[in-house]
Amino acid sequence: MVVGSVQFPQMHPVSGFRLGTVEAGIRYAGRRDLVVMELCEGSRLAAVFTSNAFCAAPVTICREHLDKSTPRYLVTNTGNANAGTGRQGYEDAKACCQAMADIAGCSTEQVLPFSTGVIGESLPVERITAGLPAAFEGLSEDGWEDAGWGILTTDTVPKGASVQVPMGDRMITISGITKGSGMIRPDMATMLAYLATDAELPDELLQACLHDAVDASFNRITVDGDTSTNDSCVLVATGRSGVAITDVNGDDYHRFCRAVTEICEALAQAIVRDGEGATKLITIDVTGARDEDEAARVAYTVAHSPLVKTAFFAGDPNWGRILAAVGRAGVDGLDLDALTIHLDDVCIVSQGGRDAAYEESLGQAVMQRDEIGIVIDLKRGGAHTRVWTCDFSYDYVKINAEYRS
């Protein structure tokens, strides 16, 4: 089930960036599961990866290859994470890179591998390498939607976002796709995400823009509190628009960064809307904190509470669960009489307990909505953060219990 509308949008092609998708039978027959992306000569690439110590072999290789060369090809397989596979997993991922390099006529270090799916199983290298020629032949600047389907695991819909931004008398394009549904609690970004633009930026500005955009978007979502071994997010700049953005203090750079952040926020929210078994999108705003870390600690404590999440699934305005989560967030010297908690526009907590004007029927009306806001004002400072999460349903347990079957 998807909360609200997650429709794949019209994607603006990015000049110099092509995508090809095939059915390689990596885990299931009749399913798009192998995607090749081609970066034109002269492209730049910024990336962020998982902080999980058990990072997958392709993540390790991506980091190594980025230190040695500028990428020309990205290869993504679903159905198998190639994580927890030891030295053999590393060699398998390298073999896929070599196969792609042989087809494209580039060096192995110019290929970045990405994998997603079941952890701890050997990568079916032969199926991947057998599918690469057809994916290469199918490369197209219009291949975004097929690629959106081709990177999914337990997701139910593909997720994309695209925008065109005027820069003087020219226009730049930014387009992106992502996958993610479970194992969502970023310490970078728990998903795979690929963004591309035809603007030209130096490496340091591109990396800084992606880092800030990820922190404001993918690092502000959670479905279940788990962080994957394979998290990767890349931003490619082909430079084909003729628009060069070089001044970190200039209006063009700030306009570009705002657009990238908006794309990332749209993709991040789409992940939560398609969270495994999700029936409600919950936005948690914590205001009045002493610093952003304190605000985030409170927001994530509420967002990760199984009792809070199951109450939202049931449509039960059990405000005591939210109150208890705030209380155990580890905020020193919290003034219980000062803070307030709202469900949308309904105040549920003030003066250290249930708000005097609160009635169960008011909370019940809010809890029937598909999209609900929790606003927690700590009344102790000027810092704020926002986190997006979802409820826990019966289907979440079913999906994960049957994941490998």
Measured CA to CA, the distance from residue 144 to residue 68 in angstroms comes to 28
Catalytic residue among 154, 190, 197, 279: 190
| Structural domain count, the chain | 2
Identify the pLDDT of residue 189: 44
Amino acid present at 4: G
* Residues in CB range of 252: below 8 A, 6 or more apart: 167, 168, 243, 245
Q: How confident is the model over 214-271, as pLDDT tens digits?
A: 999 998 888 776 666 778 899 999 999 999 999 999 999 999 999 999 999 999 999 8
At 393, list the tokens: 């349903």
Q: Are residues 267 and 357 in the same domain?
A: no
| 348 pLDDT more than 60 | yes
Q: Are residues 335 and 254 in the same domain?
A: no
| 29 pLDDT more than 70 | yes
Establish if 128 belongs to a structural domain. Answer: yes
Q: Are residues 216 and 350 in the same domain?
A: no
Q: Are residues 268 and 286 in the same domain?
A: no
Q: How confident is the model over 361-370, as pLDDT tens digits?
A: 999 999 999 9
Identify the pLDDT of residue 153: 85
Does this model's pTM top 0.75? My answer is yes
Count other C-beta atoms under 10 Å from residue 382's C-beta. Answer: 9
Boundary (domain end) residue, out of 273, 302, 335: 273
Establish if 129 belongs to a structural domain. Answer: yes
Establish if 131 belongs to a structural domain. Answer: yes
Identify the pLDDT of residue 182: 60
DSSP 8-state assignment for residue 153: S
Boundary (domain end) residue, out of 241, 273, 305: 273
Q: Are residues 237 and 379 in the same domain?
A: no
Q: Are residues 301 and 178 in the same domain?
A: no
- Whether the CB-CB separation of 234 and 45 falls below 8 Å is answered with yes
| 3 pLDDT more than 80 | no
**Which residues are paired to 118 by β-bridges?**
80
Measured CA to CA, the distance from residue 275 to residue 157 in angstroms comes to 11
Q: What is the mean pLDDT of the chain?
A: 92
Count other C-beta atoms under 10 Å from residue 374's C-beta. Answer: 26
Q: Are residues 295 and 194 in the same domain?
A: no
Establish if 10 belongs to a structural domain. Answer: no
Q: CATH no. for residue 115?
A: 3.60.70.12
- Average pLDDT for residues 372-393, to the nearest whole number? 95
Q: Are residues 262 and 313 in the same domain?
A: no
Establish if 37 belongs to a structural domain. Answer: yes
| 278 pLDDT more than 90 | no
Cα dihedral sign, 298-302-303-306 = positive
- Average pLDDT for residues 307-336, to the nearest whole number? 93
Q: Are residues 107 and 177 in the same domain?
A: yes
Q: Are residues 260 and 392 in the same domain?
A: no
- Average pLDDT for residues 183-200, to the nearest whole number? 77
- Average pLDDT for residues 366-377, to the nearest whole number? 96
Establish if 70 belongs to a structural domain. Answer: yes
Establish if 3 belongs to a structural domain. Answer: no
**Which residues are paired to 178 by β-bridges?**
159, 193
Q: Are residues 384 and 258 in the same domain?
A: no
Domain that holds residue 314: 281-401
Boundary (domain end) residue, out of 257, 273, 289: 273
Per-residue pLDDT band for 404 (boundaries 50, 70, 90) equals low
CA angle 133, 134, 135 (to 5 degrees): 90
Establish if 7 belongs to a structural domain. Answer: no
Q: CATH no. for residue 355?
A: 3.10.20.340
Q: Are residues 178 and 310 in the same domain?
A: no
Answer yes or no: 190 catalytic. yes
Per-residue pLDDT band for 399 (boundaries 50, 70, 90) equals confident
